[in-house]
Structure 1
Amino acid sequence: MTDSIKILRIRYENIRLFHEGRFEFSFMAEDRVSNPTQVFQLHKNLYTQKLIALAGINASGKTSALKLIYLALSILLERRSLNEISYGKEFLQDGTRIILHFCYRDMRYELRSVIGKTKSSHMELYFNEEFLFTKTLASMKSKKDILHFDDTQPMMRRSKLPSATLDFLKNDDSMITGIIHSLPPSLYSLINAASINFLRQRGSSPTEILNVFDPTLDELTASGSNDDVTYTVKFKNDPRPISSTNVWRINNLVSSGTIKGQNIMMLVENVLQTGGYLIIDELENHMNKELVRMITDIFKNDRINKYGACLIFSTHYAEILDFMDRKDNIYITRRNQTDASIELLNYASEVKRNDVKKSEVILSNYIEGTAPSYESIQALEDYLCSRID
């Protein structure tokens, strides 16, 4: 196994836009594990998910949830400063609390952070207080004990750190920076690529990857710096490669699904090597359903996914949920009917039956708020009728 951190749970309190100011997202297998290959074993009966899906209709909060997940993972896995993180910080406010549970080597941890927010023109964020609790994995008597630290004194408290240590710690750096460091990169994201689809990789795409998405291509290469990139495309049975510095020309030659496929598979290869986390917004965009199945199957394959890498993705299409073998690794986002805040529901908590396809549950609106209402559809049809002479 790689020397990697495994996330167990992310929890936010006093967070903007979410119902009752709370957000909770578990990476653990909460249901019974009948097939161990579907999950990754950390310790005895403690397993983490290899796939986690977020489903919901438009504007239900899927991307917002992914951004909060990315923010928490960036603090822990990349030791990023709060104000440098690309996504999620816009939801934080003065007094927001972030609670992270994770395992590292033979220890389990709880990191509690209280966020502060200045009233300057930049509205900069900082860590007002932090507590770090730790126990051994061996001390866990049952799975429900894994998140229990109330009987433990903090191993470290930010406000009690020596002044010499605080002098080297920026206000927006978590104190976990000095505890866990020198880890291989283990967080990758395509949150901002749902609509913008340009080739991100440098070098040549392996033909084994390229031909899955487009069997007519012999070569797809990007070389040079970010400001001066040359793209080369070569089709089979055509000896003449096509080179251009114009990304739009390349996008006209190569399908958007092929480009997205290369971007995804580059990150998939990286995350499989480190046992890390890959976050993709709208996985199905630009791609055939069977290609989506191929990607999810890679993470479920214990021969390939040896280190428990986890793919976290959002989708509009309920049919993709039928690729998921478990129920506890599916989350539903919806808008609360009273205040329009975002609710995050775990599918397994809402649906007990196993004999109904997950897509049918979602599309039937069995979990209220997962499909457009009949009334709104009827109102649209009536409006269109009124506009047609």
Structure 2
Amino acid sequence: MILNFGARNFFSFKEGFDISFELGTKCPAEISRGKGVSNILCVKGANGSGKTNILKAINFISNFVTHSFDNKTDSYLQFDPYFTSSSDSDFYVTFSLGQVIYRYEATLTETEIKREALFRKSKRETKIIERIIDTVVFTTKEYAELTKIKMRKNVSLFSMAAQYEIESTKNIYNSFKKIISNVSYTGLQAQTHELEFINEFFYHNDEVFNFTKDIIKKFDPSINDIYMAKSTDEEGKAIYRPWFVFKFDDQEDILSLNLQSSGTKSLYRQLGNYKAVLSIGGLLVLDEFDINLHPHILPHLLEIFLDEQTNPFNAQLIFTTHNTEILDFLGKHRTYLVNKNNTESYCYRLDEIPSDILRNDRTIIPAYNQGKIGGVPNL
């Protein structure tokens, strides 16, 4: 599980930010459900406040650790510092594997890696790997193979190690591969997968398709069933198309995906990623989580991550939304607000606000709408 992550000198965050899934001791039992780490986290803020940049950070770190070997030797790393800043940028992620806690740190410029380090904590935190520029300068015995690799200036040591099939770092590498996101360097991706890919994937994966069907049918009871049809084009290429079955007046009709509501189309495209993350105990990163969805649907989608039956591997979800009704469901321990002072973003979790403004037994929405706690446009 991800415990916390942060970045400094990253897009609109000059001084940096810290996002924590860890719940404090004062978190009510109905929120924590007996856990010290939350499975869901919301990031809210006005348009242009910088909330998507928070999601970009965890997406960048994940891609950097796992896919940076694919970079050309002279290519830029896919992030921007704060405007024209020439200072280094810092990143970190703290995560748990079983009972062991790891902390990954990286100091980067747009063109090269200045430092990478990994720390491990069981009883106390200990540095186990450190890389400076293109050399691994320190490892514990179990990671000694890394010192033999000539590092590339824009490639993470874990991405390099994966190419050399080094076993000792696979668990760290695989942890970052469990992050699935709909944001990229430029922000929200209209679609994370082409529709043709989704259709074919559903055709060959009944468990994922049934998961998607059950949720869509729950939110639109007029849909009796969904099935995937396979055909071939003139060149013999396989084509997969979903058909939605409706029953009315003792009759039956089928309609294509194109004729479904925007909300149904959105769920059809997204829910495969939900199931993938739930199956591997990963992290789902969703910008504009509520696109085309009715506000009353959102708590039901969040419950999928909160219910141990639907989420047995402790998968997590972090998302942005403009929906305000969700605030009282989330509570102050699972909500971050992002604001901007001129061109610089900053954020805070709502339980950092003095208790006389936000109390556990009071609704958050009035204080938010009145601008008392930030995160709203200054009109």
Fold equivalence (TM over 0.5): yes
Conserved 8 A contact 1:40-1:49: no
Q: How many residues of Structure 1 are paired with residues of Structure 2 in the alignment?
A: 325
Give the aligned partner of residue 262 of structure 1.
Answer: 268
Q: C-alpha distance in 1, partners of 2:238/2:109?
A: 41
Q: Which runs of 5+ in 1 are unaligned?
A: 1-5, 42-46, 118-124, 141-148, 244-249, 377-389
Give the aligned partner of residue 226 of structure 2.
Answer: 219
1:135 paired to 2:128? no
Q: C-alpha distance in 2, partners of 1:34/1:345?
A: 19
C-alpha deviation, 1:62, in angstroms: 1.6
Give the aligned partner of residue 187 of structure 1.
Answer: 179
Q: What letter is aligned with 2:61? A: A
Q: TM-score, normalised by structure 2?
A: 0.75
Q: 2:129 aligns with which of 125, 140, 156?
A: 156
Q: C-alpha distance in 1, partners of 2:188/2:92?
A: 28
CA offsets per residue over residues 121-171 of structure 1, 9 Å max, x none? xxxx332222222221xx16xxxxxxxx5xx5x32221352896333x443
Tell me, what secondary structure is at the counterpart of 2:198?
coil
Q: What letter is aligned with 1:212? A: K
Give the aligned partner of residue 98 of structure 1.
Answer: 91
The 5 Å alignment of 1:341-380 reads 341-352=344-355, 353-368=359-374, 370-373=375-378, 376=379
Q: Which runs of 5+ in 2 are unaligned?
A: 72-76, 137-144, 162-167, 204-208
Q: TM-score, normalised by structure 1?
A: 0.73
C-alpha deviation, 1:314, in angstroms: 0.5
CA offsets per residue over residues 48-94 of structure 1, 9 Å max, x none? 21110011122211212211122223345xx221876xxx9333465
Q: C-alpha distance in 2, partners of 1:223/1:281?
A: 32
Tell me, what secondary structure is at the counterpart of 2:302?
helix
Q: C-alpha distance in 1, partners of 2:272/2:376?
A: 34
CA offsets per residue over residues 269-306 of structure 1, 9 Å max, x none? 11111111111111122111221111011111122222
Report the CA distance shift for 1:254/1:172 in structure 2 as closer, same or farther (over 3 A).
Answer: same
Q: C-alpha distance in 2, partners of 1:106/1:224?
A: 49
Q: 2:244 aligns with which of 234, 239, 242?
A: 234
Give the aligned partner of residue 3 of structure 1.
Answer: none
C-alpha deviation, 1:229, in angstroms: 5.2
Q: What letter is aligned with 1:126? A: E
Give the aligned partner of residue 381 of structure 1.
Answer: none
Report the CA distance shift for 1:164/1:38 in structure 2 as closer, same or farther (over 3 A).
Answer: closer
Give the aligned partner of residue 318 of structure 1.
Answer: 324
Q: C-alpha distance in 2, partners of 1:52/1:208?
A: 25
Give the aligned partner of residue 89 of structure 1.
Answer: 78
Give the aligned partner of residue 198 of structure 2.
Answer: 201
Task: Note the aligned Cα RMSD (angstroms).
Answer: 3.2
Tell me, what secondary structure is at the counterpart of 1:201?
helix
Q: C-alpha distance in 1, partners of 2:297/2:229?
A: 23
Give the aligned partner of residue 18 of structure 2.
Answer: 24
CA offsets per residue over residues 316-335 of structure 1, 9 Å max, x none? 121111221x4222100111
Q: What letter is aligned with 1:101? A: T
Q: 1:80 aligns with which of 62, 67, 92?
A: 67
**Which consecutive segments of 4 or more residues in structure 1 shift more than 4 A?**
192-195, 197-200, 222-225, 227-230, 238-243
Give the aligned partner of residue 296 of structure 1.
Answer: 302
Q: 2:41 aligns with which of 48, 52, 58?
A: 52
Report the CA distance shift for 1:164/1:270 in structure 2 as closer, same or farther (over 3 A).
Answer: same
Report the CA distance shift for 1:94/1:286 in structure 2 as closer, same or farther (over 3 A).
Answer: same
C-alpha deviation, 1:31, in angstroms: 4.1
Q: What letter is aligned with 1:10? A: F
C-alpha deviation, 1:104, in angstroms: 2.2
